[in-house]
Structure 1
Amino acid sequence: MSTRSARPRGWPLTLVLAGVTGLSVGPFYWLVVSATQKDGDIFDWPPRLLPGGSLGDNLDHLQAKIGLLRVVGNSLLVAGLQTAGALVVALLAGYAFAKFRFRGRTVLFALLLSTLVVPEQVMLVPLFKMMMSFGLLDSYQAMVLPGLCVPFAIFLMRQALSGMPDELLDAARVDGAGEFRVLWSVVVPVMRPVLAALSIFLFLGSWNQFVWPLIALRSPEMHTLPVALATLHGNESNTDYGAILAGTALSTLPMMVLFLVLQRQFISGLLAGATKG
């Protein structure tokens, strides 16, 4: 009787969750459907709810106008290198802040946290001058190097590593392991869910970055996908919305693949953080 009486009470919650899911998935579904339609059919009313047959044409237009394969390759290269480098820096710095006692550690960590309140736009001009003085403008180095040190990632790794028992690390040291061996054989396996979650956030931030690539890159051959798509915007009469929406839909694929690959560890990391305590 209790089970039967509990079922009707769950219907309002189910309806609310279904409505929220529809609001979340609806815009993405419209994006995918519009990416498969001709430019003139996108703004029809009532809107078309079934995919069309123009996806190939829209992708061909993108390839002809911006070099789609080249800009996607640029984005994948920059986002991949930046994510991998930022994970290494965050792991090393977080490990040092969490497990080593050295003079000035508290001050350095406080300075690191203070950078979290500095808007990214404030750093654009100094960063541009720095890259220009190094002769790195319009290069992959200008895109990757500024994103290697992410204060939030270091803070997250430091907080996660603070909960790791020191006895576990001391046992590895007693067995003769050096610090890098301890880091690779002990710390990395334990921190794998955190690293997976952090890699998704870092890759998402790098993949969608627009302002800095727009400033630092000058030649179309170096453009990343967000910058290249922005160049397609003209006035209302000559903007190819079908191609733009096809490129936008395509830009979501790497994030989906990354999440599908890391979803088990990502969810494990979230659950570990939720149940900790």
Structure 2
Amino acid sequence: MSLIKITDTDGRRIPGRQLVLRYGLLIAVLALTVGPFLWQLSTSLKGPHEDIFSSPPTFLPGEPTLDNYSRVSQTIPVWDYALNSLKVATANVLTNCIGSALAGYALARMRYRGRRAATLVFILAMLVPVEGIIIAQFTTMRDIGLNNTLIAVLLPGCIGAMNVLLMRNAFRNLPHEVEEAAFVDGATAWQRFLRIALPSVKGTLAVVAIFAFMGAWDDFLWPLIVLSDPENFTLTIGLNYLHGTFANDERLVAAGTVIAVLPLIVLFACLQRFFFRGVGEGAVKG
């Protein structure tokens, strides 16, 4: 009877002790990252007569029920809040993908005076904490009359400095020969950007889209400051009412948490094929 040999990427056989260590680390990381979400999911499915604080804890619900989710929608207008968050997150993805791609291409492929200084500005922008400029953001939105609107929630993060630098690095990895050949054939800067450069960095564009959606969907502090009308509340602000009104009912809080996390899981599942194309991005095929 032959044993299965597990080899590394270069074809060498992995020793048993090293293999156990690798899988042990993977299981530990999986438990730390996925474990809390699975526990919240389990809590959200438990009925009112199940003890969620029993010792030892029971992971699987004895009588699974979806009643907690319906109670969340009865307690707060969760779907209206989710729609507001979806509007902001979708607009944030569009503005970040378009603006970051344009800015990244200009920083990486175009020649003009002050290009290095512009790159340094984006790097310095990443070093400034949000809490240090949030008052200035609030006064700016108030002065232009956008307070208590979803546009005010969107504007400060519509183009992220980190996303611009990600796109810049992706465009810099593209071979210059292809773009130079297109220039010789008479292609304009817009044609080179749209037909050559942009299709080659789909993986990084997917990363920017995921980061932009997550940043807008999970944002709590800025919407809490700039919004005052409950009709404009985003999901993260609306779910806060579950903690205040029903602080002892952890089932409702868990159900609201699952509702907030599910769109992020769906987005990553749809874009994971592009997300993991970061290695070798911009390489010439064929």
Match of residue 42, structure 2, among 23, 33, 37: 33
The 10-residue stretch of structure 1 (51-60 or 224-233) with the greater mean CA deviation from structure 2 = 51-60
Alpha-carbon distance in 1 for matches of 2:158, 2:29: 36
Compute the displacement of 1:198 (Å).
1.9
Letter in 1 for 2:145: G
The 10-residue stretch of structure 1 (55-64 or 130-139) with the greater mean CA deviation from structure 2 = 55-64
* Alignment-derived partner of residue 45 in structure 1: 55
Is the contact between residue 73 and residue 79 of structure 2 (CA under 8 Å) also seen in structure 1? Answer: yes
Compute the displacement of 1:6 (Å).
5.4
Match of residue 250, structure 1, among 259, 262, 279: 259
Runs (4 or more) in structure 1 with deviation over 4 Å come to 1-7, 52-55
After superposition, the Cα gap between the structure-2 partners of 1:15 and 1:58, relative to the gap in structure 1 and judged at 3 Å, is same
* Alignment-derived partner of residue 205 in structure 2: 195
Is the contact between residue 213 and residue 224 of structure 1 (CA under 8 Å) also seen in structure 2? Answer: yes
* Alignment-derived partner of residue 272 in structure 2: 263
Calculate the aligned-residue CA RMSD, in Å: 2.4
Alpha-carbon distance in 2 for matches of 1:184, 1:106: 24
Superposed CA offset, 1:151-185 (max 9, x none): 11111111221122233223223334332222121
Is the contact between residue 83 and residue 203 of structure 1 (CA under 8 Å) also seen in structure 2? Answer: yes
Alpha-carbon distance in 1 for matches of 2:154, 2:63: 38
Structure 1: state its 5+ residue gaps: none
Superposed CA offset, 1:169-224 (max 9, x none): 23223334332222121111101011112211221111110000001111111111
User: Matched residue of 1:234: which SS?
Assistant: helix
User: Matched residue of 1:233: which SS?
Assistant: helix
After superposition, the Cα gap between the structure-2 partners of 1:119 and 1:241, relative to the gap in structure 1 and judged at 3 Å, is same
After superposition, the Cα gap between the structure-2 partners of 1:6 and 1:101, relative to the gap in structure 1 and judged at 3 Å, is closer
Alpha-carbon distance in 2 for matches of 1:53, 1:217: 39
Is the contact between residue 33 and residue 52 of structure 1 (CA under 8 Å) also seen in structure 2? Answer: no
Compute the displacement of 1:53 (Å).
5.0
Is the counterpart of residue 168 in structure 1 residue 187 in structure 2?
no
Match of residue 212, structure 1, among 222, 228, 249: 222
Alpha-carbon distance in 1 for matches of 2:259, 2:241: 16
* Alignment-derived partner of residue 134 in structure 1: 144
User: Matched residue of 1:191: which SS?
Assistant: helix
Is the contact between residue 95 and residue 158 of structure 1 (CA under 8 Å) also seen in structure 2? Answer: yes
Is the contact between residue 138 and residue 219 of structure 1 (CA under 8 Å) also seen in structure 2? Answer: yes
Match of residue 184, structure 1, among 179, 190, 194: 194
Is the contact between residue 232 and residue 239 of structure 1 (CA under 8 Å) also seen in structure 2? Answer: no
Is the contact between residue 55 and residue 246 of structure 1 (CA under 8 Å) also seen in structure 2? Answer: no
Alpha-carbon distance in 1 for matches of 2:79, 2:206: 27
Compute the displacement of 1:100 (Å).
1.4
Identical columns (%): 34
Compute the displacement of 1:88 (Å).
0.8
Is the counterpart of residue 8 in structure 1 residue 26 in structure 2?
no
Is the contact between residue 36 and residue 52 of structure 1 (CA under 8 Å) also seen in structure 2? Answer: no
After superposition, the Cα gap between the structure-2 partners of 1:234 and 1:38, relative to the gap in structure 1 and judged at 3 Å, is farther
Size of the aligned set, in residue pairs, is: 272
The 10-residue stretch of structure 1 (13-22 or 148-157) with the greater mean CA deviation from structure 2 = 13-22
After superposition, the Cα gap between the structure-2 partners of 1:254 and 1:8, relative to the gap in structure 1 and judged at 3 Å, is same
Compute the displacement of 1:122 (Å).
0.8
After superposition, the Cα gap between the structure-2 partners of 1:113 and 1:16, relative to the gap in structure 1 and judged at 3 Å, is closer
Compute the displacement of 1:240 (Å).
3.2
Structure 2: state its 5+ residue gaps: 7-12
* Alignment-derived partner of residue 116 in structure 2: 106
Alpha-carbon distance in 2 for matches of 1:72, 1:186: 37
Alpha-carbon distance in 1 for matches of 2:94, 2:237: 22
Is the contact between residue 152 and residue 226 of structure 2 (CA under 8 Å) also seen in structure 1? Answer: yes
Match of residue 143, structure 1, among 130, 139, 153: 153
Is the contact between residue 39 and residue 240 of structure 1 (CA under 8 Å) also seen in structure 2? Answer: no
TM-score (norm 2): 0.86
After superposition, the Cα gap between the structure-2 partners of 1:238 and 1:247, relative to the gap in structure 1 and judged at 3 Å, is closer
Compute the displacement of 1:85 (Å).
0.5
